[in-house]
Amino acid sequence: MCGIAGFIHFERDNGRPEWAAIAHSMGETLHHRGPDDRGEWTCPAGALVHRRLAVIDPDRGRQPMTRSREGQDYVIVYNGELYNTGALRRDLEGRGHAFETASDTEVLLAAYLEYGEAVGTRLEGIYAFVIWDGARKQFFACRDRFGVKPFFYAWADDGAFVFGSELKALFAYPGLTPRVDAAGWCEVLGIGPARTAGVGVFAGVEELRPAHQMVIGPAGARQERYWSLVSRPHTDSYEDTVVRVRELVTGAVTRQLVSDVPLCTFLSGGLDSSVITAVAARDYQRRGLPALETYSFDYADNQKYFRPSSFQPDADWPWVERMVEAFHTRHTVLTCPIPDLAALLDQAMRAKDLPGMADVDASLLYFCRQVAQKHVVALSGECADEVFGGYPWFERPEMLHASTFPWSRDLDARREVFDPRLWKRLGVEDYVQYRYTQSVAQTPRLEGEDPENARRREVAWLNLNWFMSTLLDRKDRMSMWSGLEVRVPFCDHRLVEYVWNIPWCMKAMNGRRKQVLRDAAEGLLPEDVRTRPKSPYPKTHNPLYEELVRARVAEILADPAAPLHALVDENALRAGMLVSAGDYGRPWFGQLMAGPQMLAYLVQLNAWMVRFGLTV
């Protein structure tokens, strides 16, 4: 994995001398995404920048990569991984292409030369890339189907199209200044830590949406979608569905085990990570490789303080031990100290350039740093719940039928924290409702579907386009800040296409969520692991964390210069969260973010405003 950035300018004096320095500055902001190598390329129309984390063909896969055809240069910067490199390469060789390296970058560039703007439909993997097309004198940009790899862009005042893997790269371009308008504040206060697809939060900043591509030329830019989910009747029997799901999951994991550098899996002992670990461990054994390395995560003293709940019915460690015993993996338990968890809130914000999932982000950042000391690539079970319908809002009536985002259906916790005058002036609730209605209207419908299943399809659509995107954003920024590439097999588009049309009665056979995946794992996992109730990403139950973040918020409020004053209702905070213990009721986002996480979100909000000099 890597970081890309650059700018495109068809209007100014061609190839101005300062362009190389600007490109260098933009690349420096992405050093963490590519500590192994850097490269820059300039032409009369702009510059391309690349930071490399070498995974495939480390010696010869340098970027920007240039290939010539009929006297014209084609140059690519690419962040991602193709999982069908071998098949693409064989196809292209049959069409007369010759290759100098084993890298997927060269295959991707050749695929563009062969298929042009239809290249996205040929790709399987996670990617964001830009290609200079010397023949057409234009740039071509493309992003993977689910937005696993990021791509932000903005138009600068001087007319330049500026892009980067992260927001911070854009602001290294002269004249692009971070600013947040009313819509951006509504995103952060009412929708965050989620984010509307295509919206960069900062004024004037956009995101190339998943499954979209863009052409930037002298006449401007045009954008189009190259892939979409299609709703169609599911005609397979349940038995055939189970077999097909197993084939698709196994195939996705196996394809993503390709790497020239050390690889591991994240293992929580839950269904999703256990399936990935089991497939990977069996593949390693079949190929005669050393035992697969696995990692699980916990917090200091969590065994002492853990209390089961409806969201988290049991702890992970007994199930992790069961999997390690069954598959003989070389396992490491990583334990995050609570002071580190609180201290990393600021760095997690810097990694994302936005306030995020608070300690859920900070803990992942800590764990990724530890894993990256030994590994470059990890496989994670992220996104299975979004794809297979593993969350309670797929079946609890009050959540399923809420006329808003089911993972944050109650805005009361936010409303009680933020300044009511600001909340009303910005129109936060109207904005949230607008984004919800807009997104639901885009759901691919199935003609003749009954209202209950039609609603579940809407919720599934929201999950794929909102909740899953939030988790993928988090995974990318925290892992890449650490120099670690994390792959997500459950985001394989063929798997998602198939599962999208499996009816709920099959997904939740016998009334149990994700039963079709459990049945697909029969004979693959130990039976007790296969039937374990769902448990989410681990969170700390140690009261020390709450004490630390409460103290951080109190310290911020004691500083008259702190920008957070402009956002919050201080009287409500001092009378409520700053004195009360516990989780303050149900989560205000997802399943994990309750009272302590709201305090941590405020810490990140303040740090974000300071970092970018923001006012409201």
Residues 187 and 253 in one domain: no
Residues 515 and 366 in one domain: yes
* Lowest pLDDT segment from 51-60, 96-105, 208-217, 272-281: 51-60
Place of tokens 């997500």: 488
Q: What's the confidence (pLDDT) of residue 15?
A: 59
Q: Which of 353, 349, 38, 361 is nearest to 168 (CA)?
A: 353
Q: Which of 481, 602, 473 is nearest to 550 (CA)?
A: 602
> What are the tokens at 388?
């297979």
The CATH number given to whatever domain includes residue 191 is 3.60.20.10
C-alpha 2/C-alpha 36 separation (Å) is: 9
Is the per-residue pLDDT at 369 higher than 80?
A: yes
Residues 123 and 271 in one domain: no
Contact in structure between 358 and 471 (CB atoms under 8 Å)? no
Whether residue 545 is contained in a domain is answered as no
**Predicted confidence (pLDDT) per residue in 328-347, tens digit:** 999 999 999 999 999 999 99
Residues 327 and 429 in one domain: yes
**Predicted confidence (pLDDT) per residue in 245-294, tens digit:** 999 999 999 999 988 777 999 999 999 999 999 999 999 999 999 999 99
Counting beta carbons within 10 angstroms of the beta carbon of residue 278, is it exposed (0 to 12), middle (13 to 18) or buried (19 or more)? buried
Q: Which band of pLDDT confidence, cut at 50, 70 and 90, is reported for residue 12? A: low
Counting beta carbons within 10 angstroms of the beta carbon of residue 509, is it exposed (0 to 12), middle (13 to 18) or buried (19 or more)? middle
Q: Mean of the pLDDT values across residues 89-117?
A: 96
Whether residue 316 is contained in a domain is answered as yes
Whether residue 604 is contained in a domain is answered as no
Q: Any idea of the CA torsion for 318, 323, 324, 329, to the nearest 10 degrees?
A: -150
Residues 248 and 328 in one domain: yes
Which residue out of 2, 336, 368, 383 is catalytically annotated?
2
How much is the mean pLDDT over the chain? 94
Residues 111 and 185 in one domain: yes
C-alpha 357/C-alpha 474 separation (Å) is: 8
Contact in structure between 31 and 51 (CB atoms under 8 Å)? yes
Looking at the structure of the chain, the number of domains it has is: 2
φ, ψ of residue 50 in degrees (nearest 5): -140, 135
Domain stops at, among 225, 259, 289: 225
Residues of the domain holding 468: 238-530
Whether residue 542 is contained in a domain is answered as no
Contact in structure between 300 and 336 (CB atoms under 8 Å)? yes
Q: Beta-carbon neighbour count of residue 144 at 10 Å?
A: 27
Counting beta carbons within 10 angstroms of the beta carbon of residue 150, is it exposed (0 to 12), middle (13 to 18) or buried (19 or more)? buried
Is the per-residue pLDDT at 96 higher than 90?
A: yes
Q: What's the confidence (pLDDT) of residue 575?
A: 87
Name the percent of the chain lying above pLDDT 90. Answer: 86
Residues 29 and 172 in one domain: yes
Q: What's the confidence (pLDDT) of residue 264?
A: 98
Contact in structure between 335 and 300 (CB atoms under 8 Å)? yes
Which of the residue ranges 54-58, 216-220, 228-232 has the most confident prediction, judged by mean pLDDT? Answer: 228-232
Q: Which of 416, 422, 498 is nearest to 241 (CA)?
A: 498
For every residue of 148-197, DSSP letters joined together read: -S--EEEE-TTS-EEEESSHHHHTTSTT------HHHHHIIIIITTS--T
Strands (E), 57-124: 65-69, 72-82
Q: What's the confidence (pLDDT) of residue 541?
A: 81
Contact in structure between 193 and 357 (CB atoms under 8 Å)? yes
Whether residue 157 is contained in a domain is answered as yes
- H/E stretch holding 3 reads strand 2-8
**Predicted confidence (pLDDT) per residue in 151-172, tens digit:** 999 999 999 999 999 999 999 9
Q: Mean of the pLDDT values across residues 405-421?
A: 94
C-alpha 279/C-alpha 284 separation (Å) is: 9
Q: What's the confidence (pLDDT) of residue 14?
A: 60
152-155 and 220-225 strand pairing:
unpaired
In DSSP terms, which residues pair with 125 in a beta bridge? 82
Residues 329 and 363 in one domain: yes
What DSSP state is assigned to residue 206?
Answer: E
Q: Which band of pLDDT confidence, cut at 50, 70 and 90, is reported for residue 56? A: low
Q: Mean of the pLDDT values across residues 185-203?
A: 98
Is the per-residue pLDDT at 21 higher than 80?
A: yes
**Predicted confidence (pLDDT) per residue in 460-499, tens digit:** 999 999 999 999 999 999 999 999 999 999 999 999 999 9
Residues 32 and 137 in one domain: yes
In DSSP terms, which residues pair with 75 in a beta bridge? 66, 132
Contact in structure between 333 and 318 (CB atoms under 8 Å)? no
φ, ψ of residue 245 in degrees (nearest 5): -60, -45
Q: Which band of pLDDT confidence, cut at 50, 70 and 90, is reported for residue 57? A: low
> What are the tokens at 134?
């010397």
Domain stops at, among 159, 194, 225: 225
Q: If phi over 0 gives left and psi between -120 and 50 gives alpha, with beta otherwise, what is residue 389?
A: left
C-alpha 592/C-alpha 360 separation (Å) is: 8
**Predicted confidence (pLDDT) per residue in 540-549, tens digit:** 888 899 999 9
Evaluate if pTM is beyond 0.85.
Answer: yes
Name the percent of the chain lying above pLDDT 70. Answer: 96
Q: What's the confidence (pLDDT) of residue 335?
A: 96
The CA–CA distances, whole Å, from 106 to 37, 61, 82 equal 17, 8, 11
Is the per-residue pLDDT at 309 higher than 80?
A: no
* Lowest pLDDT segment from 41-50, 257-266, 446-455: 257-266
Place of tokens 């500083």: 559
Q: What is the CA radius of gyration of the chain?
A: 24
Is the per-residue pLDDT at 7 higher than 70?
A: yes
Q: What's the confidence (pLDDT) of residue 576?
A: 85
- H/E stretch holding 334 reads strand 330-336
C-alpha 365/C-alpha 484 separation (Å) is: 10
Q: Which of 524, 391, 525 is nearest to 460 (CA)?
A: 391
The CATH number given to whatever domain includes residue 391 is 3.40.50.620
Whether residue 569 is contained in a domain is answered as no
In DSSP terms, which residues pair with 377 in a beta bridge? 263, 485
Length of the chain: 616
Beta-carbon contacts of 129 under 8 Å, excluding residues fewer than 6 positions away, are 4, 76, 77, 78, 79, 80, 108, 141, 142
Active site annotation includes 383: no
Beta-carbon contacts of 250 under 8 Å, excluding residues fewer than 6 positions away, are 279
Domain stops at, among 175, 202, 225: 225
C-alpha 422/C-alpha 518 separation (Å) is: 47
The CA–CA distances, whole Å, from 206 to 191, 198, 221, 574 equal 17, 6, 13, 37
Whether residue 611 is contained in a domain is answered as no
Whether residue 594 is contained in a domain is answered as no
Residues 261 and 216 in one domain: no
From first CA to last CA, the distance across the chain in angstroms is: 36
CB burial of 299-314 (b: ≥16 within 10 Å; e: otherwise) equals bbbbeeebeeeebbee
3-state secondary structure of 90: helix
Beta-carbon contacts of 348 under 8 Å, excluding residues fewer than 6 positions away, are 356, 358, 361, 362, 365, 478, 604
Residues 297 and 272 in one domain: yes
**Predicted confidence (pLDDT) per residue in 566-604, tens digit:** 999 999 999 888 887 555 557 899 988 988 999 999 999
Q: Which band of pLDDT confidence, cut at 50, 70 and 90, is reported for residue 17? A: confident
Residues 204 and 316 in one domain: no
> What are the tokens at 523?
């004979």
C-alpha 151/C-alpha 148 separation (Å) is: 10
In DSSP terms, which residues pair with 199 in a beta bridge? 206
> What are the tokens at 324?
């390690």
